[in-house]
Structure 1
Amino acid sequence: MVEETRAPKRGIWGWMLFDWAQQPFHTLIITFVFAPYFAAAVAPDAARGQELWGYATGIGGLLIALSSPVLGAIADASGPRKPWIFAFSILGVIGCWALWFAVPGMENLTFVLLAIALAVFGMEFAAVFNNAMMPTLVPRSELGRLSGSAWGLGYLGGLITLVLVLGFLSASPETGRTLLGFEPLFGLDPAMREGDRSSGPLTALWYVVFVLPMFLFTPDVKRKPSVSGAVKEGLSQLGKTLRRLPGERSYFSFLMSSMFYRDALNALYAFGGIYAAGVLGWSIIQIGIFGILANITGAAGAWLGGRADQRYGPKVVVSWSILILTFCCLLVISTTQTQVLFITVAEAAGGSGLPDITFYVAGALIGAAGGAIQAASRTLLVDQVDRDKVTEAFGLYALSGKATTFIGPLAIAFATAFFAQEAFGLSTQEAQRLGVTPIIVLFMIGLVLLPMVKSRQYEVAGP
């Protein structure tokens, strides 16, 4: 058995600040500012933008899938996580900074697509190793609250950076004013969309500043005596774990379920802003308001989910979150400028405000359920293993999750490209709507597998 320990308070806060440091990458780059800007102004059209974004983020996820088992096994065998976080942080920061050069209407998109893939690869991989540090910080009884509080803190960080970009940097090309009515700071040119492009460098700087407490104060696993055989030892242990997994029904089912519903959630975050820009015709500022709302409810959902986790168990929180997120997907797909739930509510764009209100409601629910499910998933994993296997389990959970991050984006890219073919005679908006339907399928697969998962803290273990 592993003795339960508690890290110093500043070490715990340092670890939590990693979520605060990294969340702007998801908020500004992946969801609410750069992604819709790329689809609306950099790519030839919105459907093509959604397709290319899917390829770029999917390739970044595929690189993680191909390399994470080997690197994760080596890291487990050698000990410390911080050197890996540092290395991948450098790649993520470079990728984010390079997004500044994505100018409107540029002909060759190769550089930008490579920068997007590099940013995804670096930032996501840094999170893999940071999450593996969590079980060494507090006793099991406090993991749910720690996980929920960290996610909530992250959403607040994303909210603050989103307000900074929309209120002071990103201006409408038509009015030249930001959401708060100011001219952009630093003389940023609205016509060249420099405010939207600045989300890349801002994300990089924010991350560099606020990740420092984790490096300075959070305790790391000690380096193991013999590192020379780390590669062989790590791969050997990984092989044993993978061979044993199919026989552990609850553990294996959770890993499979979480792979699908986490991939669906990531895809939903990644394409929500792009969808709003292409189908509803929203501006970056409108999408930003949507993002502010989702981040507020995300912080509340993560915090409340952590408390519900302690009272009812993480499995209940995960199950209800999947149902809510699936409903939100149906709500989003059924909403256009003239329709809600596939029912016509306006004959022309702007004829009714109901579609916009519906989308805002969906965004609020997605934020709340997304925050809760991510926090509860980390504690549900702990219930699948003995205490002396917790660190290994978190490594496998993180690695298995990243091993399929390419499925959602690539499925959306392929579906969008498929329905955009001339043979179907669909409009760009219709191709986009049908293109995001794979997200629902992924959520449903995750939900079907979840009943086989046992939460031993709240249930009697099955056979």
Structure 2
Amino acid sequence: MTGRDAAAVPPPTARTGAVAAFGREHESSAPAATKKQVASWAMWDWAMQPFNTVILTFVWIALYLTSRMFLEPSVRESGQLADGSYMNCNESQFTASAYCQGLTDLSEWWGWANFAAGILILLLAPVLGQQADARGSKKKWVMGATIAIALVQFSLFFVEADPKFFWFGAFAVALAAVIGEIGNVSYYAMLSEVSTPKNVGRVSGLGWGLGYIGGVVALIVCIPVLFLIGQSEPLAFKLVAVICGLWTIVFSIPMFRNVPESPSYEGTEKVGFFRSYIVLGRSIRDLFRTNRPTFWFMLAAAVYRDGLAGVFAFGAVLAAQGFGFSFLEVIVFGLAANLVAGISTLLAGRIDDAIGPRRLIIFALAGLVVMAFVVYALRDYGTIVFWVCGLLLCAFVGPTQASSRSLLTRLTPPSQQGTIFGLYATTGRVASFLSPLAWSLFLMWFGGIVYGVLGIGLILLIGLVLLLCVRFPKDVGA
């Protein structure tokens, strides 16, 4: 099809290159976004990051909800040693104790709550994306998700350090994770409306970069609360949750004030909620028939994105248990990891626009695989190996995430962004068991926690190989 022929018909999501459609629809639907609108859009990543960094990863779940504070008093007391310290559950003589089994149960139960969240995201994210596309309500979905997540974080103030409150806390955080993913679908889909084909990589990188740096700042803000009130005091964790809720509200205001609502697109079918599943099925079928690159890219991305999630999910565990990091060292590493990821993502945005997202993703994934295997190979050299290689791993994670979002935006016309990013969220969740499975199997087979990094490296390698097999249109800058 010639350029003139292509201009004569509505741009499909087709092998002819969706980035061309992206450019045409972008130009015809709205004027270019201002710098203020771009910055305001990116601030939502900053606003949401405390939930991911503080609540989910480093503080609230790890140090409070799954800690001994939520054990039955008799079980908790059974783990206290004569000198006042508690059993180290990594030591074989304590592994089978009621105390250590109780801590294991808490982590397992949190895993089941998280699994339930994943199922809800799998079912809801794509159809809600289709609804947002059809009704031109992406900003409203993001606003609703933001308010709901803030309210959930405020509700964590009422989670007492008592086993009776465990499930309330677990399902509250899991619910916030579901809402966050639903908000992400519409937020990601708005990327095409605040960027152009020439700067989509930089804009995407700006959002990811601000998110990582926001996580660093939020962690720095919350750490004094933990140390001043005390790490064993429930009030400290309650206040941390409130701080995160306030942060989410305050820093999301620029987006809601300065970024206009998305338009509804002609030809996008407006249907009821349950009918959306039929539309979704047709979208998957049509995507496979007309845009194989996007279809296969989402499958490859599902695998390597789960590997990226594994880097952060198990990085702190590997540092503490595999390399002997103290509590303070783990926190400092968390700060450094987010800072490195944020800076590298900001810098990588320009590289994305210069060389194309596919090349950048391949380079970053190759770096991740190499660093994962180097961590294992040089493990006998101690903590310095984890510091250097671990931070290099983090330096590659952010650019991979941002460029994946950029590449998908280039492959998809704006009229289908919500639906496609809903599928993107869904495929990511479909493969979310891979890293935990590989981690656990390598530990079971080889009997040492450091072997787990080989499992994560294997998942990243598989994702890289799958990506190399995808044939992209020439006009996506890939």
Judge same fold: TM > 0.5, yes or no: yes
Which residue matches 1:365? 392
Label 1:456 to 1:50 Cα distance change in 2 as closer, same or farther (>3 A).
Answer: farther
Q: Which amino acid aligns with 1:208?
A: I
Alpha-carbon distance between aligned partners in 1 of 2:366 and 2:190, rounded to the nearest angstrom: 30
Of 204, 219, 222 in structure 2, the residue corresponding to residue 165 of structure 1 is 222
Give the match for residue 202 of structure 2: 145
Using the TM superposition, give the Cα deviation of residue 48 of structure 1 relative to its aligned residue in structure 2, in angstroms. Answer: 4.8
Q: TM-score, normalised by structure 2?
A: 0.77
* Residue 93 of structure 2 is aligned to residue 76 of structure 1: no
Worse-matched range after superposition: 230-239 or 6-15? 230-239
Quote the Cα distance in structure 2 between the aligned partners of 1:252 and 1:227.
Answer: 21
Residue 191 of structure 1: which of 199, 211, 232 is its match?
A: 232
- Alpha-carbon distance between aligned partners in 1 of 2:451 and 2:154, rounded to the nearest angstrom: 33
Aligned CA distance change for structure 1 residues 398 and 319 (closer, same or farther; 3 Å): farther
Q: What corresponds to 2:414 in structure 1?
A: 390
Deviation at 1:100, TM superposition (A): 4.1
Return the alpha-carbon distance in structure 1 between the equivalents of residues 367 and 431 of structure 2.
21
Provide closer, same or farther for how the CA distance between residues 377 and 407 of structure 1 changes in structure 2, counting only shifts above 3 A: closer
Q: State the partner residue of 1:381.
A: 408
> How far, CA to CA, are the matches of 1:266 and 1:18 in structure 2?
20
Residue identity in the other structure for 1:141: K
Q: Which of residues 256, 259, 270 is equivalent to 1:218? A: 259
2:347 aligned with 1:304, yes or no? yes
The secondary structure found in structure 2 opposite 1:140 is coil
- From the superposition, tell whether residues 193 and 326 of structure 1 become closer, same or farther in structure 2 (CA, over 3 Å): farther
In 2: Cα distance, 1:411 partner to 1:55 partner: 16
TM superposition shift of 1:310: 1.7
Q: Quote the offset at 1:155 in angstroms.
A: 1.8
Q: Is the contact between residue 64 and residue 125 of structure 1 (CA under 8 Å) also seen in structure 2?
A: yes
What is aligned with 1:13? 39
Matches within 5 A, 1:85-234: 85-100=142-157, 106=163, 109-166=166-223, 168-171=224-227, 184=228, 188-192=229-233, 194-222=235-263, 229=271, 231=273, 234=276
The one-letter code of the counterpart of 2:232 is: A
- Equivalence for 2:366: 323
Q: Tell me how far apart the structure 1 counterparts of residues 50 and 258 of structure 2 sit (CA, whole Å).
A: 22
Report deviation, 1:145.
0.9
Find the counterpart in structure 2 of residue 243 from structure 1.
285
Could you report, residue by residue, the CA deviation over 1:370-405 in whole angstroms, capped at 9, with x for unpaired residues? 1111111122123434xxx23414541343334442
Structure 1 partner of 2:436: 412
Structure 1 alignment gaps of length 5 or more:
172-183, 335-339, 346-353
Query: 1:180 — aligned with what?
Result: none
TM-score calculated relative to the size of structure 1:
0.79
- Please report how far the alpha carbon of residue 3 of structure 1 lies from its aligned counterpart in structure 2 after TM superposition: 4.1
Aligned to 1:351: none
Q: C-alpha separation between the residues in 1 aligned to 2:171 and 2:434?
A: 16
| Alpha-carbon offset, residue 67 of structure 1 | 1.3
Does the aligned pair in 2 maintain the 1:129–1:395 contact within 8 Å? Answer: no
- Aligned counterparts of 2:189 and 2:360: Cα–Cα separation in 1: 22
Does the aligned pair in 1 maintain the 2:126–2:421 contact within 8 Å? Answer: no
Distance in 1, Cα, partners of 2:438 & 2:213: 34
Distance of 1:237 and 1:33 partners within structure 2: 40
Residues 267, 409 of structure 1: 8 Å contact kept: no
SS in 2 for 1:221: coil
Query: Secondary structure of 1:211's match?
Result: helix
Instruction: Please state whether the residue corresponding to 1:371 is helix, strand or coil.
Output: helix
Find the partner of 1:440 among 438, 454, 457: 457
- What is the identity, as a one-letter code, of the residue corresponding to 1:95? V
SS of corresponding position for 2:25: coil
2:114 partner amino acid: T
SS in 1 for 2:137: coil
Deviation larger for 254-263 or 223-232: 223-232
Aligned-pair CA distance for 1:97: 3.1
1:400 aligns with 2:424: yes
Asked whether the 8 Å contact 1:96–1:200 carries over to 2, the reply is yes
Give 2:287's aligned amino acid.
Answer: L
Measured after TM superposition, the shift of residue 289 of structure 1 is 0.8
Verify the 8 A CA contact 1:20 1:158 in the aligned structure 2: yes
1:437 Cα deviation from its structure 2 partner: 5.8
Between the aligned partners of 1:260 and 1:341, the Cα distance in structure 2 is 26
Residues 255 and 76 of structure 1, relative CA distance in 2, 3 Å threshold: same
Aligned partners of 1:280 and 1:195: how far apart in 2? 28
Once superposed, what is the RMSD of the aligned Cα atoms?
3.3
Alignment gaps of 5+ in structure 2: 1-23, 71-98
User: Which residue in the other structure is 2:90 paired with?
Assistant: none
Alpha-carbon distance between aligned partners in 2 of 1:112 and 1:417, rounded to the nearest angstrom: 29
Deviations 1:330-365 (A, max 9, x none): 456x4xxxxx7353x5xxxxxxxx32x222223322
Q: Which moved more, 1:82-91 or 1:432-441?
A: 432-441
**Structure with a larger share of its residues in helix:** 2
State the shift of 1:17 in Å.
0.6
Check 1:270–1:49 CA distance in 2 against 1; reply closer, same or farther (3 A cut). farther
1:136-156: CA deviation from partner (whole Å, max 9, x where unpaired): 112211111111122112222
Q: Counterpart of 1:2 in structure 2: which amino acid?
A: E
**How far 1:233 sits from its partner (Å)?**
7.5
Residue 111 of structure 1 aligns with an amino acid whose one-letter code is F
Check the 8 A contact 2:43/2:254 in 1, yes or no: yes
| 8 Å contact kept, 1:101–1:197 | yes
Paired position in structure 1 for 2:356: 313
| Structure 2 CA distance for aligned equivalents of residues 99 and 433 of structure 1 | 34
| 61-70 vs 393-402, which moves further | 393-402
The total of aligned residue pairs comes to 418
Amino acid at match of 1:289: V
- In the alignment, is residue 34 of structure 1 matched against residue 60 of structure 2? yes
CA contact (8 A) 2:191 2:409 kept: no
**CA 383–40 in structure 1, closer or farther in 2 if over 3 Å, else same:** same
Structure-2 change in CA distance of 1:205 and 1:316 (3 Å):
same
Equivalent residue in structure 2 for 1:258, among 281, 288, 301: 301
